[in-house]
Structure 1
Amino acid sequence: MELRIREVVEALEGRLLEGNPEKRVVGVSTDSRTLEAGQLFFALKGKRYDGHDFIEEVKRKGASGAVIQREVGRIGFSLIKVENTLHALGRLASFWRDRLKGVVIGITGSCGKTTTKEMITHLLSLGGLKVSKSPKSYNNQVGLPLSLLWASPEDEAIVLEMGMSSFGEISYLSRIARPKLGVITNIGPVHLEGVSDLKGVQRAKSELLHGMKSDSILIYNEDDPLVREIAQSFEGEKVSFGKSSKTTISAEDIKVTEKGVSFTLRVPSENIRVSTRVLGEGGVYCSLAASSVAMVMGIPLEKIGEGLSSFEPLPMRGCMVRLRDFWIIEDCYNSNPMSLRSALNVLSLASGRKIAVLGDMAELGSLADVYHKEVGRWCAQLGIDALFLLGKWAESIASGAIEEGFKGFLFIGKDHAEIGKALKEYLREGDFVLLKGSRIMEMEKVKGFLEEE
């Protein structure tokens, strides 16, 4: 982003307290630690830190100015006063959005958003397009505006992720991004604390449509009945994906192994055999969503197939890692009932002993006990050989497994070290280990103990 201070003041309807209105702004930052010279600093107030306490620091680092919501005294560089710096960040992103010439692609859903975003970026880049994307999981009221502000008018596609923990959040993000292509991956029991139940998740995800115009295109999962209902309410052009030949883009003759998936990708009038190392059914649907976007963007089918096979799964998001003489399915970036069921299905296909190392699934509200018991039942039904459990809901998983007739090895640990020690003693050559838990559980720490000789 390149603007003058006066343009920023005008866009934010703020007040320039001091500084040169013709000063050039090159980019924005909300983090004083990573701010680069020329960037405009937004002083956000968080739970632990207040950006206003770092104004002197960002001035020393060469910031072009700062956007503030409370007085900080005269500093000697450009200060723009607004009512709310978080809202101002969104407002500037919306202003900058109008200057972007590329196709804005907005992705939401309960599972697979980040993998789908990365896969879309990979396919479009391989097809020769200049692509900008949300870094990491920048999908909230800070991350999405920053992602837009970091995009260039020369970018041909801007791929954005939209998450939520309560109603209104995706609506806010969608109205800022105004996607030309909207993608809904699926709807499952995630963030229930903020939206109560599955219907609440559906309502929150449907807010993606709030920023889409009549000439926008909705790309959606036809196999998910709740997503299908959302699509029915959209009056613009639609592209469906799923396992049925009735969808615009479909996956047929699917072969799932513990190393990845392969299937016949069918698009209107063409088909190709493809494979991906993204594991399980989730790998199929992420591939279908990404392929749908690529098709709409004019990428040839052959390039799409090439891109799916060359795509590298993201760390901690379902990647297969060999450690000495056993395999680890490292899927511990996050967890919810939908993604965990998919991961257990992958584990159940393993040729060796099937070991699930599970931590809590967060933000399930009053249904946490119910869903964790359900996980235990799935483990018993799928023939999992051993369960190593950690967290507040470990007993619920164990209870569900035992009720369903689980006969395998069961261990509940008090911390990562205890789990790691017990697991090392249990492991033998050819085993497959699934690491899965919500981000707060940091289940990757178990892998750290396994790596120690």
Structure 2
Amino acid sequence: MKKTLAQLAAWLKIREQDNEDTVVTGISIDTRTLKTGDLFVPFRGEAVNGHRFVEQAFEKGAAASLWLKDEPNPPQDRPLIFVEDAEAALQQMAIAYRSEHKATFIGITGSNGKTSTKDILAGTLSPYFKVQKTIGNFNNQLGLPITILQLDEDTEVSVLEMGMSGFGEIELLTRIARPHLAIITNIGEAHMQELGSREGIAQAKYEITKGLLEEGFLFYDGDEPLLRQLVTEDPYTETMSFGFGKENTLMVSQIETIESGSRFTVKGLIEGTFDISVLGEHQVKNTLSAMLVSKALGLTDDQIRTSLKQVALTDMRMQLVPVENGPLFINDAYNAAPTSMRAAIQFIKSTTMRSKKWLVLGDMLELGMDEKAFHEQLAEEIDDSVERVCLYGPRMKWLYERLLLVFDASRLVYTETDYEPIIEAIRRDADEETLILLKGSRGMKLETIVNTFK
């Protein structure tokens, strides 16, 4: 982005603006990551007032700053834009820049796999287009506008992750982004506490179609009956489905684990065998949506096949972490919900990467009133192919008690607040033939365990 204050003021419908010729080349809400030329956006919260850092932002190279009209003592002789509401102004500027931008915009939502799908899609398209994607977890009502405002003017494809915790949030984001193409990765159980049911979660995710351009397409998990029902009830949205079922536009017929990741065969709109350097059936399924979008943007099957081989995911998503003279870790500890937890356990059971298999599982958070049942039900997924199960967190006690009914206690480790019993068990009993999967919600920070062995 390269805009003068006069242009930003026009976006915000401000008639008079000082320092009109000042040029802004980016956006920042944090002085720690601010870059020279950024517009600083201060927020006023209960604990922190961002206006305290405006002067520091200028000292670090900010070109200008927003300032709330009812905030006293604005700094003199600094390029300021006075607004009623900083969040609304940020979103309004993003809407304006989006309307001017020539890129193809792609929105991604879903209970699980948003970030993986974003990474896979961006990686697949990058050899052929200039692509910019959501960085980190900038996927909410502040992060998405910032991502849009940070787009280079010559970006050809923008891949935007859209997160939510309640109704109306995806609709807000999609009306800002107005995507040409949209993906719903799946429907799980995350945010059950706020949305009440899987039906509610499906409705909230389907809000992504509210901002989809009229000529746009929705790509969705065709194995999910709740999404199929919503598609059936929506006569206005053009759709394509992906998954394991034969009725999908693109379906997987075979998956095998290879040394470099996964090899899979697809049928439907795209046909043939493809490799990707990530593990797990659920990651292959995420890949299908990226393949359909790539096809829609004009890539050939061979181009998709070539670029998929070099795709890399953000850390802590089925990330292989070898330890010299020790076990091989799969760090999938970025987040967890019942759907993704079951998928990861299923991978461990089926893989032949190592002869000994361990599970290190942490609490699944934000599951609402049924959280006890969701943790207990994981016992049905764990069988004798798993040598050791290590559980961390107060909610995992429910799973531990259920496993005690069917497994010898020597195969189980449970700790509520201390990683050390699990670390000690790994040091004592794991070896070069051991594969250890770590999976838990972000708040459990299970990567602490694998970092001990790096």
Partner of 1:31 in structure 2?
Answer: 30
The DSSP-based 3-state class of the residue aligned with 1:43 is coil
Partner of 1:336 in structure 2?
Answer: 337
Q: CA distance change for structure 1 residues 224 and 56 in 2, over 3 Å: closer, same or farther?
A: same
The DSSP-based 3-state class of the residue aligned with 2:152 is coil
Cα offsets for 1:325-372 (capped at 9, x unmatched) = 321111001111111111101111244222111111111121111111
Partner of 2:321 in structure 1?
Answer: 321
Q: CA distance change for structure 1 residues 50 and 352 in 2, over 3 Å: closer, same or farther?
A: farther
Cα offsets for 1:99-118 (capped at 9, x unmatched) = 11011000001111111111
Aligned residues: 447
The DSSP-based 3-state class of the residue aligned with 1:87 is helix
Q: How does 1:160-199 map to 2 (within 5 A)?
A: 160-199=160-199
Partner of 1:392 in structure 2?
Answer: 394
Partner of 1:124 in structure 2?
Answer: 125
Partner of 1:60 in structure 2?
Answer: 59
Partner of 1:214 in structure 2?
Answer: 214
Cα displacement (A) at 1:177: 0.1
Bigger drift between 96-105 and 345-354 goes to 345-354
Partner of 2:424 in structure 1?
Answer: 421
Give me the whole-angstrom Cα distance separating, in 2, the residues matched to 1:221 and 1:118.
Answer: 18
Give me the whole-angstrom Cα distance separating, in 2, the residues matched to 1:374 and 1:356.
Answer: 15
Give me the whole-angstrom Cα distance separating, in 1, the residues matched to 2:309 and 2:410.
Answer: 36
Give me the whole-angstrom Cα distance separating, in 2, the residues matched to 1:205 and 1:363.
Answer: 17
Bigger drift between 402-411 and 49-58 goes to 402-411
Q: CA distance change for structure 1 residues 408 and 252 in 2, over 3 Å: closer, same or farther?
A: farther
Checking the alignment, whether the CA contact within 8 Å between 2:413 and 2:421 is kept in structure 1 is: no
Partner of 2:403 in structure 1?
Answer: 401
Checking the alignment, whether the CA contact within 8 Å between 2:333 and 2:445 is kept in structure 1 is: yes
Partner of 1:148 in structure 2?
Answer: 148
Checking the alignment, whether the CA contact within 8 Å between 1:373 and 1:400 is kept in structure 2 is: yes
Cα offsets for 1:381-408 (capped at 9, x unmatched) = 4642211111111211112223455676
Cα displacement (A) at 1:291: 0.2
Q: What amino acid does structure 2 have at the position aligned with 1:13? A: K
Q: Do structure 1's residue 447 and structure 2's residue 450 form an aligned pair?
A: yes
Unaligned runs of 5+ in 2: none
TM-score by length of 1: 0.93
Give me the whole-angstrom Cα distance separating, in 2, the residues matched to 1:442 and 1:139.
Answer: 20
Q: CA distance change for structure 1 residues 372 and 259 in 2, over 3 Å: closer, same or farther?
A: farther
Cα displacement (A) at 1:124: 0.9
Cα displacement (A) at 1:14: 4.8
Partner of 1:91 in structure 2?
Answer: 92
Q: CA distance change for structure 1 residues 432 and 258 in 2, over 3 Å: closer, same or farther?
A: farther
In angstroms, what is the RMSD of aligned CA positions?
A: 2.0
Bigger drift between 350-359 and 404-413 goes to 404-413
Give me the whole-angstrom Cα distance separating, in 2, the residues matched to 1:408 and 1:277.
Answer: 35
Q: Do structure 1's residue 368 and structure 2's residue 371 form an aligned pair?
A: yes
Checking the alignment, whether the CA contact within 8 Å between 1:185 and 1:221 is kept in structure 2 is: yes
Cα offsets for 1:255-313 (capped at 9, x unmatched) = 35696322212343x52211223221112211101101100000110111122222223
Give me the whole-angstrom Cα distance separating, in 2, the residues matched to 1:64 and 1:171.
Answer: 32
Checking the alignment, whether the CA contact within 8 Å between 2:23 and 2:37 is kept in structure 1 is: yes
Cα displacement (A) at 1:47: 5.8
Give me the whole-angstrom Cα distance separating, in 1, the residues matched to 2:164 and 2:408.
Answer: 36
TM-score by length of 2: 0.93
Unaligned runs of 5+ in 1: none
Give me the whole-angstrom Cα distance separating, in 2, the residues matched to 1:396 and 1:328.
Answer: 25
Q: Do structure 1's residue 346 and structure 2's residue 347 form an aligned pair?
A: yes
Q: How does 1:264-283 map to 2 (within 5 A)?
A: 264-268=265-269, 271-283=271-283
Give me the whole-angstrom Cα distance separating, in 1, the residues matched to 2:46 and 2:390.
Answer: 34
The DSSP-based 3-state class of the residue aligned with 1:151 is coil
Q: What amino acid does structure 1 have at the position aligned with 2:217? A: I
Give me the whole-angstrom Cα distance separating, in 2, the residues matched to 1:166 and 1:423.
Answer: 39
Give me the whole-angstrom Cα distance separating, in 1, the residues matched to 2:82 and 2:408.
Answer: 62
Checking the alignment, whether the CA contact within 8 Å between 1:376 and 1:396 is kept in structure 2 is: no
Checking the alignment, whether the CA contact within 8 Å between 2:123 and 2:312 is kept in structure 1 is: no
Give me the whole-angstrom Cα distance separating, in 1, the residues matched to 2:407 and 2:74.
Answer: 70
Checking the alignment, whether the CA contact within 8 Å between 2:134 and 2:159 is kept in structure 1 is: yes
Q: How does 1:232-271 map to 2 (within 5 A)?
A: 232=232, 233=234, 235-256=236-257, 260-268=261-269, 271=271
Q: CA distance change for structure 1 residues 312 and 37 in 2, over 3 Å: closer, same or farther?
A: closer
The DSSP-based 3-state class of the residue aligned with 1:207 is helix
Q: What amino acid does structure 2 have at the position aligned with 1:419? A: I
Q: Do structure 1's residue 435 and structure 2's residue 438 form an aligned pair?
A: yes
Partner of 1:312 in structure 2?
Answer: 312
The DSSP-based 3-state class of the residue aligned with 2:100 is coil
The DSSP-based 3-state class of the residue aligned with 1:265 is strand
Q: CA distance change for structure 1 residues 166 and 15 in 2, over 3 Å: closer, same or farther?
A: farther
Partner of 2:225 in structure 1?
Answer: 225
Q: Do structure 1's residue 294 and structure 2's residue 294 form an aligned pair?
A: yes
Bigger drift between 313-322 and 173-182 goes to 313-322
Give me the whole-angstrom Cα distance separating, in 1, the residues matched to 2:259 and 2:111.
Answer: 23
The DSSP-based 3-state class of the residue aligned with 2:404 is helix
Bigger drift between 231-240 and 297-306 goes to 231-240
Q: CA distance change for structure 1 residues 369 and 239 in 2, over 3 Å: closer, same or farther?
A: same
Q: CA distance change for structure 1 residues 342 and 166 in 2, over 3 Å: closer, same or farther?
A: same
Q: CA distance change for structure 1 residues 95 and 368 in 2, over 3 Å: closer, same or farther?
A: same
Checking the alignment, whether the CA contact within 8 Å between 1:376 and 1:399 is kept in structure 2 is: no
Give me the whole-angstrom Cα distance separating, in 2, the residues matched to 1:391 and 1:241.
Answer: 35
Checking the alignment, whether the CA contact within 8 Å between 1:52 and 1:68 is kept in structure 2 is: yes
Q: CA distance change for structure 1 residues 409 and 153 in 2, over 3 Å: closer, same or farther?
A: same
Cα offsets for 1:170-220 (capped at 9, x unmatched) = 111000000000111100001122212211211110110111132111111
Candidates 347, 361, 365, aligned match of 1:358: 361
